[in-house]
Structure 1
Amino acid sequence: MTQPTVSEFVNDWFDTHRSEIIGWRRHIHSHPETSNQEFETTNYLAKILGEYGVEAQRFPETGLMVDIGPDTEEGRIAFRADIDALPVQEVTGLEYSSQTPGVSHSCGHDVHTTIALGVACAVADYNREFPLSIGVRVIFQPAEEVWVGGATDVIEWGALEGVHSIYAVHVEPKLRVGRIGLRAGAITSATDIVEIDIKGPGGHTSRPHLSADVIYAMSKVVTDLPALLSRRVDPRTGTVLVFGTINSGYAPNAIPQTGSISGTLRTADIGIWREISGIFQELVEQVLAPTGVKHELTYHRGVPPVLNDDVATALIASAAKAIDPQSIVQAPQSSGGEDFSWYLEHVPGSMVRLGCWSGDGDMHDLHQGDLVVDERAIGVGIKLFSSVISQFMTAIEEEATKS
C-alpha cells in the first residue's frame, strides 16, 4: 500500500466522519460558554479527543492542547482555535440554536473549534497508521473575546514551546463558502481603548467666563483629536480614532463639573501601535490646555495587529491551491482586533479568512445574533489545515535533502 499524504488521508477521513463532525459542531453551538467559563466545552473536547486516543493537556482553568507526532529539532506546526462565545442572544431559529439565554457563538468560534477538533482526531488516526515525521500541536484557546485575550495566558502556560509556526482561520460571512482569504502582513488592527475623565468647577451657562466649560472641552477632544492624529501619524497605517461614549450634564442652563469620553484607537502598523499612547497623551493635553479643565487619561493597551508572516502565508497559499486552485482570494485588511496576534509576536504564522456564506440570501455579520454559518466551511477548514501539514512536511523533507 502506498503511503498517502496527510492531506489525502484526511480528505477521505472527513468524508467518512462528516456527519459525526457536524454533530460536534452543533453540540458546541448549542452549548456556548463565555470567556473563561468554557468548562463544559473543555470537557466535551477532551472527551472526543479521548475517544480518538488523543491525550489532552488541560490548561489551568479552561482550554487545552494536544500534541501528535514526534518532537523534532524543526519544531511542531501548530493550529489554534478559540473556544469561547459572546454575550449575544441568538435569533437564528436554528434547531440547534443556543440553549443558554443571552449567549451564542455569534463570532463563529464553534466552527473554528470543530475544525481544530477534526484535524486533531484525523491526524491522530493517520499517525497510528503512518507515523508522522513532524510534530503537530492543536491549541484550543479560551477567552479570545475579552481584553487583552486569552492568548497571553496560553503562551505563558507553554503553548508555543517547541513550535515552529502557527496557523488559524476565522470565518468570514462576507465571503462565499469554499473561498479562502489570504493576506501577508497586517490582516487585523491593533485595538486600544481610551477613556478621558474631565473636571471643572461647574457654573451657570450665563457666566461661562467664570468657569471652565466641561462640555466645550469634551467637544474639542471629540472633534480635534481625530484630525490632529491624522497629521501626526502616517495615514497609510490605517490609524483610526473613534469615540463611542460621551457623557456629561444634567440641565441645559448648567455647566457640569464632570464629563467622560471613551473610544477606540486602532492601527494596522505595529510600530505606530508601540508609540501611539505617548502621541495620544500629548495631543489630549494640548487640546485641553486652553480650556482650563483638568483631565485624567486612562489608556488601555489592547492587542497588536495580526501580522501574517510572508513565508507562512505562502505555505498556506500552497496548501489552499493544492485543495482548489480557484479558492484563494485577497483578504482585505480589517480594523477589528484579534488576539492571535500575540502568538505571532513569538513565532511566525498566518491567519486566513474562511468563507462561510452559502451564496443564497442575506450576508450576515460577525458578533450579531442572526449569524448563520454554512457548515460546508468546516470541511474546507479541516482540509486546509491537513494540506498545511502536508506542505510543511514536504518543505522539511526538501530542506533535509539539500543539506
Structure 2
Amino acid sequence: MRAAFCQISDLDDIKSELIGIRRHLHQHPELSYQEADTSALVAARLEGWGYAVTRHIGGNGVVATLRAGSSTRSIGLRADMDALPIHEMTGLAYASRHQGKMHACGHDGHTAMLLGAALQLSRTRQFDGIVNLIFQPAEEAGFNSGAVQMLQDGLFERFPCDAIFGMHNHPGVATGVFMFRSGPFMAACDTVKIDIIGKGSHAARPQLSIDPLVTASSLVMALQTLVSRNIDPMDAAVVTVGALHAGHAANVIPEHATMELSVRSFKPEVRALLEKRIRALVQSHAAGYGAKAEIEYLCGYPVLVNADAETEFARQVALELVGAEKIIAPFDPIAGSEDFAYFLQQRPGCFLRIGNGAGKPMLHNARYDFNDDNVSLGAAYWTRLVERYLQVP
C-alpha cells in the first residue's frame, strides 16, 4: 500500500497519454446532445481500466464505477463533454476538424483530467469505498441540459453519491491556481424573448403606425432601471439586452420588433422579483406606446450553491497538493452559469475553478484553448480528493 496520497509527479508517466487524449477530443468536437463519439471513447477507455461502465445515462452520458475496500461510502466526480458552435481560429496543429464546432470552453480538458484520475485510481486503488465518475453531455444546452437529463434518468438513485465535485478551467488566472467559494458561486441564468407587436406603415407616414422599433428602443433603456431601482445594492444581478431585431428597409416601419434578454442573479428571491418586474414593465411600456407585447420567459440554470463543508474539504486537498500560494479562497462570485447547480441541489458538494493562464483568451472565444499543463495536475487533484474522501482506515 502506498504511504502517501497522490502527488502531481505520480502522473508523470501518463502525462503525454492524457494530453494526447485531450488533443484528440479537441480535434473532434461534438455539440450538445451529439456527443456519441466522445462518449464511446470515454466508455471504452474506462472499460479497459476495469471500471463498471454504464452508457446512455441522460442521452450520451457515461457513469463509471470503481470499488475498493469494504466501505459503502461514495463520491461522485463530474466532467462535461460537449463543444460549442464556434468556428475555431487558433491555428493549432490539433485544431477542430469539424467546421463551425470547437471546444471553446475546455470540456475536452475537463474530460481528459477526469480520465487521468480514472486511470490513476485504477492503478493504485488507494481508497476505501465507491467512486462514480460522471461524464456529462449537453452542459452548454442552456435548457433541459445534460445534468437535468441524467438526474431524470435516476443518476443518484442508480449511482449513490454522498457528495459530488466538479471543476472548470478559468482563463485570466495563472495556470494551476485553484479557486474556491462557499455558498452562491455562479449565477442563475434566464432568457427572455419579447415580441413587440405594432402597426406597420410607410416611413413617410409615421402617424399611421404604431412603431415597434421606437417602443423596443425605449424599452431597452427602461430595462436598465430594473437592477438599479428594484434590487438591493448589496445583491448582484444583471439584465442584458443581447439582441434587438426589427425591419428590413429604411423606408418601412415594421410590424414587429423582437428582443432577447439575459437575466442573471444569485438569490432565488432576486430571480423571482426580476421576472415579475420584467413582465410588468414590458407589458406596461408597450401599452404606453399603443403596442402589444408577447413574452416567453425561459428559466435556465439555477444558482450554483457550494456546500460549506465540502468546499472546505476540497480547498484543503488543493492546499496539500499545490500549497497556499496557488489557492484563492474565497474567489469572487461568477456571473456565468453552470448546470452542475442541479447536482448540488440534490447532493452536497463543491464546484471549483482552476486557472487556465493569465492573459489567455476567454471562454467561448474562437482563439481559446485548454492549457495542457492542467491535464495531469487536474487528474492528480481528483485522485487525491478521492483518496482523502474515501481514506483507507
> Structure 1 length as normaliser, TM-score?
0.89
Contact 2:283 2:292 in 1 (8 A): no
> Partners in 2 of 1:275 and 1:59 — Cα distance?
38
> Partners in 1 of 2:77 and 2:383 — Cα distance?
10
State the superposition RMSD in angstroms.
2.3
1:155 to 151, 155, 164: 151
> Partners in 2 of 1:158 and 1:115 — Cα distance?
25
- Structure-2 residue corresponding to 1:63: 61
- 1:4 is aligned to 2:25: no
Q: How does 1:81-100 map to 2 (within 5 A)?
A: 81-100=79-98
> Partners in 2 of 1:41 and 1:251 — Cα distance?
46
CA 1:320–1:222: 2 relative to 1, 3 Å: same
Secondary structure of the 2:50 match is coil
2:104 to 98, 102, 106: 106
Between 1:199-208 and 1:87-96, the stretch displaced more is 199-208
2:292 to 290, 294, 299: 294
Contact 2:73 2:390 in 1 (8 A): no
- Structure-1 residue corresponding to 2:118: 120
By how many angstroms is 1:123 displaced? 1.3
Higher RCO (C-alpha 8 Å, min separation 6): 2
- Structure-2 residue corresponding to 1:339: 339
- Structure-1 residue corresponding to 2:378: 381
CA 1:202–1:327: 2 relative to 1, 3 Å: same
Secondary structure of the 1:145 match is helix
Deviations 1:123-179 (A, max 9, x none): 12222xx5x322111100011111222110011122223211111111112111121
- 1:47 is aligned to 2:44: yes
Secondary structure of the 1:115 match is helix
- Structure-2 residue corresponding to 1:307: 305
1:367 to 357, 364, 368: 364
Contact 2:8 2:321 in 1 (8 A): no
Q: How does 1:22-41 map to 2 (within 5 A)?
A: 22-41=19-38
Please list every run of 5 or more consecutive structure 1 residues that lacks an aligned counterpart in the other structure: 398-403
By how many angstroms is 1:11 displaced? 4.3
Percent of residue pairs bearing the same amino acid type: 31
Aligned AA (1:293): A
Contact 1:212 1:293 in 2 (8 A): yes
- Structure-2 residue corresponding to 1:328: 327
Secondary structure of the 1:247 match is strand
> Partners in 2 of 1:381 and 1:274 — Cα distance?
37
Aligned AA (1:142): P
Q: How does 1:157-172 map to 2 (within 5 A)?
A: 157-161=153-157, 162-172=160-170
Contact 2:52 2:66 in 1 (8 A): no
CA 1:40–1:299: 2 relative to 1, 3 Å: same
- 1:195 is aligned to 2:193: yes
Between 1:68-77 and 1:143-152, the stretch displaced more is 68-77
Contact 1:226 1:240 in 2 (8 A): no
> Partners in 1 of 2:69 and 2:137 — Cα distance?
25
> Structure 2 length as normaliser, TM-score?
0.91
Contact 2:32 2:83 in 1 (8 A): yes
Aligned AA (2:352): V
